[in-house]
Amino acid sequence: MKILLVDDEPLALSRLQRLLGSLGYTEITTATSGIEALKITTKTQFDLVFLDISMAEIDGIELGYALRYADENLAIIYQTAHENHALKAFDVGAIDYLLKPYSLESLKRSIARGTSKMAESKEELRFISKAGNNHYLLKPEDIYYIKADLTEVIFRSDKGFSYYPKKISDLEALFAPYGFLRVHRSYLINLNRIKEMETIDQSRISFTFEGIKESIESSKEGAKHFRHLFKELTS
């Protein structure tokens, strides 16, 4: 397991590295700031990262969002001396939260708990999307539709519009098991969130959704694909 440690206190960083070493973990990389951590993660992919919350320049919460935005499979364990950060930590999607000073046994339990949650998270698809300075942790069922936008996509959810750094072609197969269908070169729609359908010109289909006002229009091929699928499901 590749582990990244991020803490701007050298003593805390060396102590955590020593504790992890005593548990048999050897593939450990350290960073003393959020900026350094971001540079490291552009070159190396990690399985688990320990983040301190109170750091200068980029705090652990902001850094956690940035790291999960780049890699939704990254597991995060927060460590801090302040209890009042716990809610924000779990908003990022952290798998655990350690309160300093913690013991070797507490660290061992946290990693075991985290390993279990890492296995579960592979079955539960979640995405960190971004809208300005805000980040959202979304499940497929939270999303009404996905719109292509150059090298990114836009997720439309109850939280509004947010960006995710993948092409729509990369997401089509990933979202298919969750009821999403490509009805246009620029759109994937969640069939489970459809409210009404209306046939429009050239046999295309206009889709509206429960809970939002906008509609999505299919292409001719997309409408044909939808009708074929619907026929198969109802035959």
**C-alpha to C-alpha distance for 118 and 73, rounded to whole angstroms:** 8
pLDDT of residue 116: 67
24: Cα within 13 Å, side-chain hemisphere:
3
Domain boundaries, given as residue ranges, for the chain? 3-124, 132-234
132-234: CATH topology is OB fold (Dihydrolipoamide Acetyltransferase, E2P) (2.40.50)
71-122 residue pLDDT tens: 877 889 998 877 666 667 777 878 888 888 888 988 988 888 777 666 655 5
Cα-based distances in Å from 145 to 27, 150, 170, 175, 204? 40, 16, 15, 11, 17
**C-alpha to C-alpha distance for 52 and 59, rounded to whole angstroms:** 8
User: Right CATH number for 3-124 from 3.40.50.2300, 3.20.20.10, 3.10.20.520, 3.60.10.10?
Assistant: 3.40.50.2300
> CB–CB of 216/187 below 8 Å?
yes
- Which ranges of the chain have pLDDT less than 70? 83-87, 116-124, 231-235
Query: Could you tell me what percent of the chain has a pLDDT over 90?
Result: 52
